[in-house]
């Protein structure tokens, strides 16, 4: 697919997320670089919605690098917790960020709850420049439920607790290529690539 640009910066410092995004973008004939390659400081994420935070991160990375930037804001939303952890998924248990502490807090928060339905949500925003008036926006949702104990060694974040209803496996048990296809991030990326095709 021919792109209207040949370099793209990923507005993230999360190694797990970077790995997934680079795998999802491998079909594009462009150079995909993490913002750390440009020493871009992390953007503030002060908003209560994923879309506002993703827009802020994409603009921030583009402004610092002068390149098109892709930001992904994602998290897990649990029905019984009124959508929490939501935008606070990465810092649910506070600083310093820790997947293990976040998972422990989620299990504690769900003690005694019968409804364990949850979904992963992802929104991707691509800006061609920092003041792009028409950013590309795509979202993806992955339905599942929260287990009472962790299963699987792969993935990151809440993956060991998140059971995919269709496969009967946790996100941490799924091979990366399957997870990338069926996950919230995979769905959002497929929609974003479709939008990029129309620009090419």
- Compute how many other C-beta atoms are within 10 angstroms of the C-beta atom of residue 46: 9
Q: Which of 73, 99, 159, 164 is catalytic?
A: 73
Strands 117-127 and 162-164: unpaired
Residue 73: active-site member: yes
Helices and strands (H, E) in the chain, number of each type: 5, 7
Phi-psi region of 91 (alpha: psi -120 to 50; beta: other; left: phi over 0): alpha
Whether the CB-CB separation of 72 and 45 falls below 8 Å is answered with: no
Whether the CB-CB separation of 53 and 123 falls below 8 Å is answered with: no
Q: In whole angstroms, give the CA distance from residue 122 to residue 80.
A: 20
SS3 48: coil
Residues taking part in catalysis: 73
């Amino acid at each position: 697919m021919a792109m209207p640009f040949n370099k793209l910066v990923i507005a993230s410092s999360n190694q797990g997320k970077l790995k997934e995004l680079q795998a999802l973008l491998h079909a594009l004939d462009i150079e995909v670089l993490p913002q750390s390659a440009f020493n871009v400081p992390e953007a503030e994420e002060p908003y209560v919605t994923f879309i506002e935070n993703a827009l802020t991160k994409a603009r921030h990375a583009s402004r610092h690098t002068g390149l098109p930037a892709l930001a992904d804001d994602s998290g897990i939303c649990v029905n019984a917790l009124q959508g929490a952890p939501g935008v606070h998924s990465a810092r649910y248990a506070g600083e310093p960020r820790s997947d293990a502490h976040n998972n422990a807090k989620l299990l504690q928060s769900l003690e005694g709850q019968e409804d364990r339905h949850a979904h992963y949500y992802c929104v991707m925003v691509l800006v061609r420049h920092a003041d792009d008036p028409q950013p590309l926006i795509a979202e993806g949702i992955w339905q599942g439920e929260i287990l009472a104990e962790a299963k699987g060694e792969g993935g990151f974040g809440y993956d060991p607790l998140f059971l995919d209803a269709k496969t009967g496996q946790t996100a941490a048990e799924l091979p990366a290529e399957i997870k990338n296809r069926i996950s919230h991030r995979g769905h959002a990326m497929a929609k974003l690539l479709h939008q990029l095709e129309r620009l090419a």
